[in-house]
Amino acid sequence: MRTVLLITRREFLARVRGRAFVVSTAVILLILVGYSLFVSSIDPGGDSGTSTIAVAPETEAITPSLRLAADDQGRIVRVLPVADAAAGRALVATGDADAALSGPPTRPRVDVDRSLGSGTGSVVTVATTLLAQQQLLPDPAAGDAAVAAAEPVVVAARPDDPAQGLRIGLGAFGAFLLFFSIQTYGAMVAQGVVEEKASRVVELVLATVRPWQLLLGKVLGLGAVGLLQLVVLTGAGLAVAGTAGLLVAGAGITGTLVSVLVWYLLGFTLYATVYAALGSLVSRQEDTQSVLTPVSIVVLIGFIAGFNLVLSAPTSTALTVLSLIPPWTPLVMPARIALGGVPVWQVALAFVLTAAFTALVLWLGGRIYARSVLRTGARVSWREALTGR
């Protein structure tokens, strides 16, 4: 164990002292801050200018006013007549309608999924007022009262969580950091392996330590560097969010941090082992990229798909499936956990699957590494790496 720790310490110090570590931390921090500013400058509502409104039969009288209000505001409103209020709510639940109107036309009940978007909201509000005015009540006072009372009553099926934005932010932030750390430090493990092979120092080292010790020390050392960077970036990110007043209690920040940490450790072990085994197949730094590319693409696909789904469809089946496939779990699951609402069995299943997959990778990767790391010259073929002695 002392041997492994010595190797870990060397790898850690060699990287942390390097300028690359400081520079990459600063650069990534800039990117993150820039990205958050960019995202926050966009209206999160994603108002497209088109609203689809389901209207129940008893509320049907509002339809002409809706069209009038929409024309007035330059919005496009599609009115879907539905059989009853329940049918309207069903359309809202499936996302086929932005709002469902039911009840008295001047004081309709407005069913929405999370919240009434500002565009749709103002169309509905104006429409109820118009309708009240058109009722031509004989008594002006009664007319005024009717206009004053004309107001939509908004009922959200799933009321907006005030911390929702922060949760999505944390999820996306976590996914990005994990992706970045795994790609960067995983690739550094491969580079380190190739550097030892290229400089031939590996023979000197392996004359006194076992290959698994060297591999483990390397993975731990670089994993610790990645972790340090993760801590620095997360701390900085939270500090920025805190001063900007974005932190809301109850968003599960602590839980998110713990889950990012756990998934980082698991994900890094998984990918670092794969990268180390791949690195051991080649003897020259120039060849490293070609063996790493296929795996980098797998990581990239998981990250891009996961990141976009987290932002656009956080409750989709696609994201759930993606988060349960082991090579992608560490990239996607922490973001889902940050979003909240992940069933415990899914987290447990994802953890077990990933842990089992990582164990398999460790076994196979250790085998490939031990067999290939002393072979210099041409790239070691898969067959040789797996079956040679």
Count of residues touching another protein (by CB under 8 A): 22
Is residue 138 packed enough to be buried (19+ CB in 10 Å), middle (13-18) or exposed (0-12)? exposed
6 binds another protein (CB under 8 A): yes
Say if residues 71 and 51 touch (Cβ distance below 8 Å).
Answer: no
Considering the complex, what minimum distance in angstroms separates the CB of residue 221 from another protein?
A: 12
- Indicate the SS3 state at residue 226: helix
Count the neighbouring beta carbons within 10 Å of the beta carbon of residue 84.
12
Helix (H) or strand (E) holding 380: none
- 298 part of the interface to another protein, by CB under 8 A: no
Burial of 254 (0-12, 13-18, 19+ CB in 10 A): exposed
Helix runs in 74-117, H state only: 85-94
158 interacts with another protein by CB under 8 A: no
* Chosen residue from 10, 78, 158, 284 binding another protein by CB under 8 A: 10
Q: In this chain, which of 91, 202, 310, 319 binds another protein, going by CB under 8 A?
A: 202
Q: Does 387 bind another protein (CB under 8 A)?
A: no
Helices 164-198 & 285-312 angle (0-180, nearest 10) = 170
Least separation in angstroms between CB 198 and another protein: 9
When asked if residue 317 is in the footprint of another protein (CB under 8 A), the reply is no
With contacts defined by CB under 8 A, name the span among 21-29, 115-123, 207-215, 261-269 that binds another protein.
207-215
| 285 lines the binding site for another protein (CB under 8 A) | no
Interface with another protein includes 42 (CB under 8 A)? no
Half-sphere exposure of 21 (CA within 13 A, CB side): 19
Under rule CB under 8 A, residue 210 binds another protein: yes
Show contacts with another protein in window 12-31 (CB under 8 A): 14
> Cα separation of 147 and 225, whole Å?
65
Calpha distance 291→303 (Å, rounded): 20
Q: Which is nearer to another protein, 91 or 198 (CB)?
A: 198
Query: Which of residues 148, 201, 239, 304 is near another protein by CB under 8 A?
Result: 201
User: Looking at residue 155, what DSSP letter applies?
Assistant: E
Of these, 41, 199, 254, 317, which contacts another protein (CB under 8 A)? Answer: 199
Tell the smallest beta-carbon distance from residue 211 to another protein (Å): 10
Kindly state the helix (H) or strand (E) to which residue 157 belongs, with its residue range. Answer: none
Task: Tell me which residues touch another protein (CB under 8 A).
Answer: 3, 6-7, 10, 14, 195-196, 199-210, 374, 376, 389
